[in-house]
Amino acid sequence: MRVLVVEDEPKMAALIKRVLVAERHVVDVAPDGVSAVALAETGPHDVIVLDRGLPDIDGVTVMRLLKAKGVASPVLMLTALGSVDDRVAGLDAGADDYLAKPFAFSELLARIRALGRRPAPLADSRLTAGDIVLDELRHVAQVGDDTVDLSAREFALLGFFIRHANQVVTRQQILDQVWGAEPDVYSNVVDLYVSYLRRKLGELDRSDRLKTVRGVGYSLKTEA
């Protein structure tokens, strides 16, 4: 699953990310409310883990902004405050679940799994770039009318490229976003997977969609 973690304490954010990546989730991290809203809008997340206490705008306000912008991802709100009033305020604002700090990571994972199992709105599950369509809900990739068989990692990588279509993305950005905090990652793993993706997309279409930007990284072009 793709999870957005909104947490301002760097140690806590890193810890949550590590635990989620170990469970094979793809993790985006936002350190404050404004960047959380911006990241949530860039692509559908299966679950958003939202800390209540943030340095700029509080979690309940973030929650309202997400709903106002049509972000449909389920939200698990975290709080240092365990009182009934806080729980009610979070749930009233549209949070789907609530977990008080300190919590056991096993419980966090179980709740994320439960939220991720809820069906996402169909309109939010499809990413497109040119004639490439990625249906994240059904885990199906298509180029034109042809279905492309992708591994989970290739799928996540192509999703990242589509979210940043026509932009240049660096190898480090790709590593951070698609591989996360996995310890045994070699720097050339990105190049390797890009070559896999090119081959799989190239079986159906000879045009070079995934351009190498020398010395920088890659760019997925949707127009010539």
Q: Which is nearer to Ca ion, 44 or 59 (CB)?
A: 59
Closest CA to 98 of 125, 79, 121: 79
Label the pairing between strands 217-220 and 169-170.
antiparallel
Q: Which is nearer to Ca ion, 29 or 165 (CB)?
A: 29
Q: Which residue is nearest to Ca ion (CB)?
A: 53
Give the integer Cα–Cα distance in Å for 23 and 222. 33
Q: Which is nearer to Ca ion, 20 or 50 (CB)?
A: 50
Which two three-digit tokens encode residue 199?
A: 């081959």
**Binding site residues, Ca ion, CB under 5 A:** 8, 51, 53
Give the shortest CB-192-to-Ca ion separation in angstroms.
Answer: 38
Q: Which is nearer to Ca ion, 13 or 129 (CB)?
A: 13
3-state secondary structure of 9: coil
Q: Which is nearer to Ca ion, 52 or 209 (CB)?
A: 52
Which two three-digit tokens encode residue 154?
A: 């290739």
Give the shortest CB-60-to-Ca ion separation in angstroms.
Answer: 13
Give the shortest CB-38-to-Ca ion separation in angstroms.
Answer: 18
Under a CB-based contact definition with an 8 Å cutoff, are residues 114 and 165 in contact? no
Which two three-digit tokens encode residue 48?
A: 């958003």
Give the integer Cα–Cα distance in Å for 127 and 134. 5
Give the integer Cα–Cα distance in Å for 14 and 221. 33
Give the shortest CB-118-to-Ca ion separation in angstroms.
Answer: 26
Give the shortest CB-204-to-Ca ion separation in angstroms.
Answer: 46
